[in-house]
Each structure stands twice: as structure tokens, then as C-alpha cells.
């Protein structure tokens, strides 16, 4: 059995919110809190901070999707304003909550893969 390419593995581990090293243990302890250690391989995870990166990506993606969908809806059907309010506020919240965790997982996995920051070696 051949191993998957490292880049694919980093994205897979991130999207699945798994340990960036072994891909088995959960990355998060809760919704967005990074676990102290990987339960499978013991890698110290708690010092990994992806900063505002995931939120920025999610804001840009959700904003583009919601604004595009609102424009198309208005041009096609011209619903009352309360329909827009309910649809797009709900969609924004649901998409943001659904995308934050995998985006944070991918950024942490890519940080691990590219050895960004010496914290991995110094604090383990």
C-alpha cells in the first residue's frame, strides 16, 4: 500500500479535523479548542494557533456565496425583504459555523506540513 501524497494528506486531515501528524486522533477538544495532545500519537497540539486565518477565509467565502445567492434570488423572484432577512442571515450563520472547524483544521495541518513556526519541535 502506497502512502497518499503529503499535501493530500494534510488537506484530508484538516478537513476531517484529525491530528496533522498521524491523521487518527481528533484535532479539537470541543468546537474550536485545539486538544492538548493527540490521543493516538501523543503529539502536543495545544500550542497551535491558526490566528484569524480561518475566520478570514470563511468570511470571504460565506460573503461571496450569500451575496451572490441574494442577488440571483432578488433578480429572479423579487421576494419580500423579510424573506431575504430570514434566508441570508440563517444561511450566513449555518455556513460560517459549518466551515470554521474544517478551515482551522486545514490551516493547522498545513502549518504542520510546512513546519511553519518552530513551536512544533521546541514545545513537544
- Closest distance of CB 43 from Zn ion, Å: 5
Of 74 and 124, nearer to Zn ion (C-beta) is 124
State the nearest-atom distance from the C-beta of 23 to Zn ion, in Å: 7
38 vs 108 by CB, closer to Zn ion: 38
CB of 114 to Zn ion, least distance (A): 17
Cα–Cα distance for residue pair 39/24, rounded to 1 Å = 8
Looking at beta carbons only, is 25 or 105 nearer to Zn ion? 25
Q: Among residues 17 and 19, whose Cβ is nearest to Zn ion?
A: 19
Terminal Cα-to-Cα distance of the chain (whole angstroms) = 30
Task: By CB under 5 A, name the binding residues for Zn ion.
Answer: 19, 21-22, 25, 38, 40-41, 43
Q: Is 44 helix (H, G, I), strand (E, B) or coil?
A: strand
Residue 51 CA to residue 62 CA, distance in Å, equals 19
**Distance, CA of 16 to CA of 28 (rounded, Å):** 11
Please give the Cα distance from 10 to 31 (Å, whole number): 20
For the CB of residue 38, give the shortest distance to Zn ion in the complex, in Å.
3
Amino acid at each position: 500500500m502506497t502512502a497518499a501524497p503529503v499535501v493530500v494528506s494534510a488537506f484530508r486531515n484538516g478537513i476531517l479535523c484529525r491530528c496533522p501528524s498521524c491523521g487518527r486522533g481528533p484535532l479539537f477538544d470541543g468546537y474550536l479548542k485545539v486538544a492538548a495532545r493527540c490521543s493516538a500519537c501523543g503529539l502536543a497540539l495545544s500550542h497551535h494557533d491558526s490566528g484569524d486565518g480561518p475566520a478570514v477565509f470563511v468570511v470571504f467565502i460565506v460573503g461571496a456565496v450569500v451575496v451572490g445567492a441574494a442577488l440571483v434570488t432578488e433578480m429572479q423572484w423579487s421576494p419580500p425583504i423579510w424573506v431575504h432577512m430570514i434566508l441570508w442571515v440563517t444561511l450566513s450563520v449555518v455556513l460560517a459555523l459549518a466551515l470554521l472547524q474544517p478551515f482551522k483544521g486545514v490551516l493547522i495541518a498545513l502549518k504542520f506540513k510546512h513546519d511553519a513556526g518552530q513551536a512544533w519541535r521546541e514545545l513537544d
